[in-house]
């Protein structure tokens, strides 16, 4: 499911309580855990996880690429939702003291001392959670944040020129740039009028700079619209209503009316306007 804008929306909701009925887990102390799918935990056993996290307080949460990063009293919790899933914060108990039933596909639950709980819901079971002292072990391999002003035109051009790879798989490679996935890459490439199979080191400086602007534009608009909700796994987003090409094969291009095509690039469904996005 989630790409950068969806994860960013979740992080903002965790801070502001939006989309979680005003409930906030920051400052809450973990009481216990429920692990419903063991392989969710990537680097620790359920028992050790429970022992280490119980008693720790959530100090902060932020986003790095598509990762949710929870700073705890003494450790860091990393979550990655992969293809499907969402995070819920809700009351754990009814007024009579009985547990509120969990949802289908809940894979791991944190129960807080104040009665709240946070559920990691992940239908396809690809999502992963890490707990560790130094999150750089995992986050350190990520490329730069696309919205970070420190990523300048010049740096981005040099990055593109240092590889000889097809644009789309390169942009989606989290070691190259952290946060883009299938939807936002298709949308950014359409707006930049670049073919997804174009080779990275053939772009001019002007094309490279324009591509960076368009990447930021689609990510900003995605965040503004609380992400994209294209099926049942992530709800509340709005960006799907303004897709230019993603999932619109057979429809006319918004710019030139040529029929949008769906192809395969790097084993991923890819949507382009064959007239606006040429190889050269």
Instruction: Supply the minimum distance, in Å, between the C-beta of residue 164 and DNA.
Output: 4
Residue whose CB is less far from DNA, 229 or 277: 229
Interface stretch with DNA, choices 26-34, 68-76, 187-195, 222-230 (CB under 7 A): 222-230
Instruction: Supply the minimum distance, in Å, between the C-beta of residue 200 and DNA.
Output: 7
Give the single-character DSSP code of 239: G
Give the single-character DSSP code of 254: T
Instruction: Supply the minimum distance, in Å, between the C-beta of residue 12 and DNA.
Output: 16
Torsion, Cα of 41, 266, 232, 22 (10° steps): 60
Structure tokens that stand for 146 in this block: 């696309």
Tell me which residue of 145, 215, 229 sits closest to 179, measured CA to CA. Answer: 145
Give the catalytic positions in this structure: 2-3, 66, 268
CA–CA gap between residue 168 and residue 197 (Å, rounded): 7
H or E, element range at 53: helix 46-53
Structure tokens that stand for 125 in this block: 């079971």
Q: Which of 29, 199, 221, 251 binds DNA (CB under 7 A)?
A: 199
124 binds DNA (CB under 7 A): yes
Largest interatomic CA distance in the chain: 67
Residue whose CB is less far from DNA, 54 or 166: 166
Q: Which of 10, 14, 65, 72 binds DNA (CB under 7 A)?
A: 65
43-62 footprint of DNA as x/- string (CB under 7 A): --------------------
Chain residues in the site for DNA (CB under 7 A) = 1-3, 6, 39, 65-66, 80, 82-84, 104-105, 123-126, 163-166, 169-170, 172, 174, 181-183, 199, 227-234, 237, 262, 265-269
């Amino acid at each position: 499911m989630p790409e950068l804008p969806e994860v960013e929306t979740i992080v903002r909701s965790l801070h502001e309580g939006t989309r979680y009925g005003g409930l906030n887990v920051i400052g809450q102390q973990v009481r216990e855990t429920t692990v419903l799918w063991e392989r969710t935990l990537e680097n620790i056993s359920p028992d050790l996880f429970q022992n280490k996290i119980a008693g720790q307080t959530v100090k902060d949460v932020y986003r790095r690429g598509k990762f949710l990063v929870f700073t705890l009293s003494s450790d860091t919790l990393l979550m990655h939702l992969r293809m499907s899933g969402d995070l819920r914060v809700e009351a754990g108990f009814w007024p009579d003291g009985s547990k509120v039933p969990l949802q289908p596909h809940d894979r791991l639950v944190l129960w807080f001392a104040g009665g709240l709980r946070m559920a990691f819901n992940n239908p396809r079971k690809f999502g992963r959670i890490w707990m560790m002292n130094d999150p750089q072990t995992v986050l350190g391999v990520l490329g730069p944040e696309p919205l970070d002003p420190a990523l300048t035109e010049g740096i981005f051009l040099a990055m593109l020129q240092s590889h000889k790879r097809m644009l789309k798989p390169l942009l989606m490679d989290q070691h190259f740039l952290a946060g883009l996935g299938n939807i936002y890459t298709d949308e950014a490439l359409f707006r930049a009028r670049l073919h997804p199979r174009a080779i990275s080191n053939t772009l001019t400086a002007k094309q490279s700079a324009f591509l960076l602007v368009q990447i930021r534009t689609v990510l900003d608009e995605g965040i503004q619209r609380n992400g994209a909700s294209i099926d049942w796994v992530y709800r509340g987003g709005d960006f799907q209503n303004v897709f230019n090409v993603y999932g619109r094969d057979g429809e006319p291009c918004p710019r030139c009316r040529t029929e949008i095509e769906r192809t395969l690039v790097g084993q991923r469904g890819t949507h382009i306007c064959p007239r606006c996005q040429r190889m050269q």
